[in-house]
Amino acid sequence: MTSPSLVGKNARRFTAPSVIPGFGLTFGYTLIYLGLIVLFPLATLIWQSSGLGFSGLYEIASEPRVAASLRTTFFISFAAAVVDLFFGLIVAWVLTRYDFPGRRLLDAFVDLPFALPTAVAGISLAALYSPNGWFGAPLADYDIKIAFTRWGILVALIFIGLPFVVRTVQPIISELEAELEEASATLGAGRLQTVIRVMLPPLAPALLTGFALAFARSIGEYGSVIFIAGNIAYVSEIAPLLIVVKLEQYDVPGATGIATIMLAISFAALLLINLVQAWSRRRFGHV
Amino acid sequence: MSEIAITSSGRDRGVKFRPVTHDSAFARYALIATAVLFLAIFLLAPLAIVFVEAFSKGIGPFLAAFDDPDARAAIRLTLLVAAIAVPANLVFGLAASWSIAKFSFPGKSVLITLIDLPFSVSPVVAGLVYVLVFGGQGLFGPWLAAHGVQIIFAVPGIVLATIFVTFPFVARELIPLMEEQGKIEEEAALTLGASGFKTFLTVTLPNIKWGLLYGVLLCNARAMGEFGAVSVVSGHIRGLTNTIPLQVEILYNEYNNVAAFALAVLLAGLALVTLGLKTFLEWRHADALSGRARRH
């Protein structure tokens, strides 16, 4: 075992001196495992798509069926994140500020979309909203179709994204200072005015972060959507599904191109989150 | 929740006024009703329908779904995959958090961002990258084929894709936790003559055990329930490369609703147990969990 001590010697110059052992071993293992499992496969994707070049990527993205699926994914993810933003704020507010029977249970259930496998969510949502389901049947009386349309995609993405907004906003609501509310009230503001002008602004960064997290997750979501979407080309076909379709047709470059575009969108969302948090730290002193 | 209790205790003391920091009763009830209704429609109904559909023809057909050899093979494969993926990410989580939390070195925040990376990648893309590396037209495809090794459309590919999507769970729970705890206790043990490994076992591990369990729970739930990534690399060979979620898909597409939802009950049960234990840990051992990473 000469190599670990060699790593250790190099590491000692790299890291600050410490009595704690094991830096070389654990740091080396971390880098190797991260490299092999995550970075190398992702680099392969980028390398393959760089072979396509920008013109090749553009060609794939402007193929009508691909363009339609990217539009569908992008706009419905955005709409779902907006719905989650609104109702997530209400849910977070209610769960943090009010006490009522069943609050703890409901609070625990907010994490259900994280815990429930997406395929299970997919088939149960399809069962609920299909024309003879619990929600689908009464809606069918009014000629409203959810399952196997774009609305179905929206419902599934609302389900998937909700906990991101609630869990991001909740801690900030519980940290709101009562003194500010009291000051606002004693200065003559009505309750609604206090809520809108004093309490909501500090929540803005958390709301934006939750929104971006829900949006980023929705862009890549597959399992919960494909069962309820109907997957009609040009109408209700999402981009991740088209990757699978292209792979089944042995169109690896096509699948690679779509994957690269999706990766770029989710990294842009990630960057936005980091910028919002940096701004929030400067503006409000918290994330 | 102390400020919320004021309303009732205020009423006990005969106070007629609503504290200025409280919303009106109407606003309160309207908001509670909205939140409860929204959660009931979007969260509770999807969970309830799993059980309703699974038992819609009674207990007999429900149980019969588990007599199917393909279903049993799927259950075995799911357990096998989780039994490899979870320990692999557990060891990684310990190594990563030890090196990141106990030492200072340049580029630390970049490393943490890279560890979180798999959460920002679509499951389908996670499966695709392994196809690009190990698949028939992939980087190592010809070499693997020449040596008779199959990774894609076989169990190794399923394990790799599962490790990818569950990669950050343990690490992202342990890193902030160990950073909060600092390294004073370890330094004391080491200067008193304990070996590095003994220090880890008797000082560090007891400090992080609840956080570790928390991370492992979430990692396991995702590992057993992963669908998108596994679906891309599995090839859907019945009895061989179908995990429970993939078997659910096949049964559902064959209009075998009872069997599909019967297997889904297993996964929904796992989700409920995970949520229960998670809530218990957050309630009973909140101080032993990291305050930051409680989002996934």
How far is the C-alpha of A164 from the C-alpha of B233, rounded, in Å?
A: 28
Inspect the interface and report whether the beta carbons of B249 and A119 lie closer than 8 Å. yes
Per-residue confidence (pLDDT) for residue B7, from 0 to 100: 47
pLDDT the model gives residue A282: 85
Identify the pLDDT of residue B9: 47
pLDDT for B291 equals 65
The CA-atom distances, in angstroms, between B200 and each of A133, B97, B99, B189, B196 are 54, 12, 12, 9, 6
Mean pLDDT of A268-276: 85
Residue A280 or A130, more confident: A130
Q: What percent of chain A has pLDDT over 90?
A: 64
CB-based contact (8 Å) between B279 and chain A? Answer: yes
Residue A228 has pLDDT above 60, yes or no: yes
Q: Which residue has the higher pLDDT, A35 or A50?
A: A35
Task: Give the number of other CB atoms < 10 A from CB of residue B236.
Answer: 14
B103 contacts in A (CB within 8 Å)?
15-16, 18, 20, 23, 27
Q: Tell whether A35 is within 8 A of chain B (Cβ).
A: no
Q: Say whether pLDDT at A110 is over 50.
A: yes
Judging contacts by C-beta atoms under 8 Å, the chain B residues touching residue A15 are 103-105
Do A262 and B122 make contact, defined as CB atoms within 8 angstroms? yes
Q: What is the ipTM of this complex?
A: 0.89
Per-residue pLDDT band at B285 (split at 50, 70, 90): confident
What gap in Å lies between CA A281 and CA A286, rounded to an integer? Answer: 5
Q: What is the pLDDT of residue A9?
A: 52
- The SS3 assignment for B255 reads coil
| Residues B23-34: tens digit of each pLDDT | 888 889 999 999
Query: Cβ contacts (< 8 Å) between B267 and chain A: which residues?
Result: 116-117, 119-120
- Give the mean pLDDT of B107-121: 91
State pLDDT tens for residues B158-169: 999 999 999 999
CB contact under 8 A, B24 and A27: no
Looking at the complex, report in whole angstroms how far the Cα of residue A174 sits from the nearest Cα belonging to chain B.
9
Kindly state the greatest CA–CA separation across chain A: 75
Q: Does residue B277 sit at the A interface (CB-CB below 8 Å)? A: no
Q: Kindly tell me if the per-residue pLDDT of A3 is higher than 80.
A: no
Tokens of A252: 């690896």
pLDDT at A19: 86
**pLDDT tens per residue, range B62-79:** 999 999 999 999 999 999
Q: Do the chains contact at A266 and B186, CB–CB below 8 Å? A: no
**Mutating which of A5, A30, A274 best tests the B interface, going by the most B Cβ atoms within 10 A?**
A30
Calculate mean pLDDT across residues B104-122: 91
pLDDT in tens, A6-41: 454 554 568 887 888 989 999 999 999 999 999 999
Whole-number pLDDT of residue A17: 78
What confidence category does residue A286 fall into, taking pLDDT thresholds of 50, 70 and 90?
Answer: low
Interface contact B218, partner A, CB < 8 A: yes
> B51 vs A269, which has greater pLDDT?
B51
- Cα(A281)–Cα(A205) distance, rounded to whole angstroms? 9
Tell me the nearest-neighbour CA distance from B55 into chain A, angstroms: 14
Nearest to B130 among A41, A167, A256 (CB): A41
Q: B96-128 in b/e burial notation, b at 16+ Cβ within 10 A?
A: bbbbbbbbeeeebeebbebbbbbbbbbbbbbbb
**What are the tens digits of pLDDT across the range A137-190?**
999 999 999 999 999 999 999 999 999 999 999 999 998 888 888 888 889 888
Measured CA angle at B223 (ends B217, B227), to 5 deg: 140
Q: What is the mean pLDDT of residues B42-47?
A: 96
Q: Indicate the average pLDDT of chain A.
A: 90
- Whether B109 and chain A come into contact, CB under 8 Å, resolves to no
Which chain A residues touch B49 with a CB distance below 8 Å?
124, 127-128, 133-134
Band of the pLDDT at B287, cuts 50, 70, 90?
A: confident
pLDDT at position B152 over 70: yes
What is the CB neighbour count within 10 angstroms for residue A174? 12
Pairwise CB contact (< 8 Å): B132 & A178: no
Residue from B9, B53, B97, B227 whose CB has the most chain A CBs within 10 Å, to mutate: B227
Looking at the partner chain, which of A21, A114, A178 has a beta carbon nearest the beta carbon of B196? A21
Burial of residue B175 (number of CB atoms within 10 Å: 0-12, 13-18, 19+): buried
Which positions 54-83 of B are in contact with A (Cβ < 8 Å)? none
Residues B225, B274: Cα–Cα separation, whole Å = 12
pLDDT tops 60 at residue B274: yes
Query: What was the pLDDT predicted at A284?
Result: 77
Of B292 and B130, which is predicted with more confidence?
Answer: B130
Under the banding of pLDDT at 50, 70 and 90, the label for residue B16 is low
Question: Residue B273 pLDDT more than 60?
Answer: yes
Which is more confidently placed, A275 or B18? A275
Interface residue of A36, A46, A123 to substitute, partner B, most B CBs within 10 Å: A123
Range with the lowest mean pLDDT among A180-184, B55-59, B80-84? A180-184
Number of neighbouring beta carbons within 10 Å of residue A52: 17
Phi first, then psi: what are they for B112, rounded to 5°? -65, -40
- Alpha-carbon distance of B241 to B161, in angstroms, equals 13
Residues of chain A in contact with residue B201, where contact means CB-CB under 8 angstroms, are: none
Mutate which of A112, A128, A246 to disrupt the B interface (most B C-beta within 10 Å)? Answer: A112
Q: How far apart are CA A165 and CA A84, in angstroms?
A: 7
Q: Do A263 and B121 touch (CB under 8 A)?
A: yes
Judge whether residue B193 has pLDDT over 70: yes
Q: Which pLDDT belongs to residue B8?
A: 47
**Residue A101 forms contact with B (CB below 8 Å):** no
Q: Which residue has the higher pLDDT, A100 or A281?
A: A100
CB contact under 8 A, A99 and B96: no
What average pLDDT score do residues A230-240 get? Answer: 91
Q: What DSSP state is assigned to residue B242?
A: -
Residue in A87, A109, A250 nearest the CB of B44: A109
Closest partner CB to B191 (pick from A19, A115, A134): A19
Please say whether the beta carbons of A113 and A162 come within 8 A. yes
